[in-house]
Structure 1
Amino acid sequence: MADFSVAEAKARLSELIERAEKGEGVVITRHGKPVVELRPLAAAPRRITQAELDRLAEQRKAIVRKSGGPNAVDLIRGVREDGWL
């Protein structure tokens, strides 16, 4: 892990950001005491698009149709009719 004073960090900020992005520990000090650590942000999870959700819903419906089994509504209705809910 490399330490840099605030003055050094101001002069070399782009370089320090690149080093941190590559995984190198970068600490900025003030009066010799560590105050900031530069490190890359964790990758954000990819958001699922509406088109992908729609496609998954269609795939689920196709599986239920092929299986010939009851859908969730029918299952819940049956449980209620049998007095379980």
Structure 2
Amino acid sequence: MREVQSSEAKAHLPQILDEVERGETIVITRHGRPIARLIPEAESRREEIDRAIEGIRGIQKRTSPVSLDELLAARHEGHKY
């Protein structure tokens, strides 16, 4: 959660709304005191999460299982020790 002065919110509303749409909560302040809170719309966020989960499950069905050793090897690939 981040705080934004009301004057900044006025000047940068489209960018602030983009952040809220991505899941960020924004508190708008005036003279250092909180006056409003912008939070993501719960239902649209839930739909987005559900679509993402469905996509992950689809990928899981199309791919073969990956062992722990393969995961660790991929994670360390290209590292210099």
TM (norm. structure 2) is: 0.50
What's 2:14 paired with?
A: 14
What's 1:27 paired with?
A: 27
Bigger share in helix: 2
Q: Determine what percentage of the aligned residue pairs are the same residue.
A: 43
Question: Take 1:39 and 1:14, find their aligned partners in 2: how far apart are those partners?
Answer: 14
TM superposition shift of 1:42: 2.1
Question: Take 1:38 and 1:17, find their aligned partners in 2: how far apart are those partners?
Answer: 8
Question: Take 2:2 and 2:38, find their aligned partners in 1: how far apart are those partners?
Answer: 10
Q: Report whether the alignment pairs 1:39 with 2:46.
A: no
* Structure number with larger C-alpha Rg: 1
Alpha-carbon RMSD across the aligned residues, in angstroms, is: 1.3
Residues 18-67 of structure 1 show CA distances to partners (whole Å, capped at 9, x for unaligned) of 101111121100110111111122227xxxxxxxxxxxxxxxxxxxxxxx
Consecutive unaligned residues of structure 2, counting only runs of 5 or more, are: 45-81
TM (norm. structure 1) is: 0.48
- Secondary structure of 2:43's aligned partner: coil
